[in-house]
Structure 1
């Protein structure tokens, strides 16, 4: 079962640490934010979901210390790019093939971060317009399948520009009607 909980907001601790506040978050709570989690232990299940949701393209992201000449500090510095609070104009779909990592999802209603740990065979769909960020765990390794509806693209829109983005405003409107 997936680990999802409110982030402890302790910035004095490495962002790759669990940061578990001890307050769990249910899958129903995530669903109200538009976040979908699934555990899919077979490639056939991933392919079926991709077909159902119209994902036509995919690639594999492999983050590990070897990509950074086994320099952990260099890897941590590069990973800070993914850890900045941002949105995308398309939904973000990640399937953990191996390793582990964290997706932090901003609950805009409660104005709190929710940390979702992804382990092997976990899939997360983060809706367009929601603030989020990503971190590897202290294992410094994740191999993830990225799925895309159209041509692969990854355009992060950081704060404060994201606050005025039409996709962001559209996302916030869905929360008010839920």
Structure 2
């Protein structure tokens, strides 16, 4: 994984938008993200390692997310717009990238700057509940990932606004990062 501050230049969201200011993965971990790599060509296979991570976190459900024109059909562009709209979840967003590539953008608190994280096959990313973020494909225009949840498979998000700003999930997240120096 590679992370950097987003350049905020008006252009296709699928372009890198690299400001040239790198962000260390350790800093992202301080912001509550869990980032690891389980290469697809791991000896003995990646599945047992991914299963172990899932079991350790109590994720008992998973499905495959195929974000391609073929996978989403007529809904492709609409879904990309939805994924790229700034939002948060009440639960962690958990993905293991099987193929393709894309970007997660997360809001740095308290600066409100976007940090862009490039994900590739074998990357495992956990975005905590309560953090504002968005997702987009890159210029390859496709990603396939495993999604993990605890309990019933359901994915709901709430757009950023006064409702999410006052959410207990948002407050918990902010409380968890209040001591983290910006850019640490």
Match in the other structure for 2:112:
111
CA apart distance, 1:90: 0.4
With structure 2 as the length reference, what TM-score do the two structures score? 0.89
CA distance in structure 2 between the partners assigned to 1:62 and 1:127 by the alignment: 22
Displaced runs of 4+ in structure 1, greater than 6 A?
none
CA apart distance, 1:57: 0.6
Q: Tell me, yes or no, if the aligned pair for 2:66 and 2:72 is still in contact at 8 Å.
A: no
Match in the other structure for 1:43:
47
Match in the other structure for 1:124:
125
Counting matched residue pairs gives: 173
- Aligned-residue CA RMSD (Å): 1.4
CA apart distance, 1:138: 1.4
CA distance in structure 2 between the partners assigned to 1:122 and 1:164 by the alignment: 32
CA distance in structure 2 between the partners assigned to 1:177 and 1:21 by the alignment: 26
With structure 1 as the length reference, what TM-score do the two structures score? 0.92
Match in the other structure for 1:18:
16
- Kindly report which structure 2 residues correspond to 1:9-88, keeping only aligned pairs within 5 A, or say none: 9-10=8-9, 12-41=10-39, 42-67=46-71, 69=73, 75-88=76-89
Deviations 1:125-171 (A, max 9, x none): 00000001000111111000001122111110111121111110111
Match in the other structure for 1:167:
169
Deviations 1:90-127 (A, max 9, x none): 00101100111111111113321111111001010000
CA distance in structure 2 between the partners assigned to 1:130 and 1:45 by the alignment: 27
CA apart distance, 1:84: 0.7
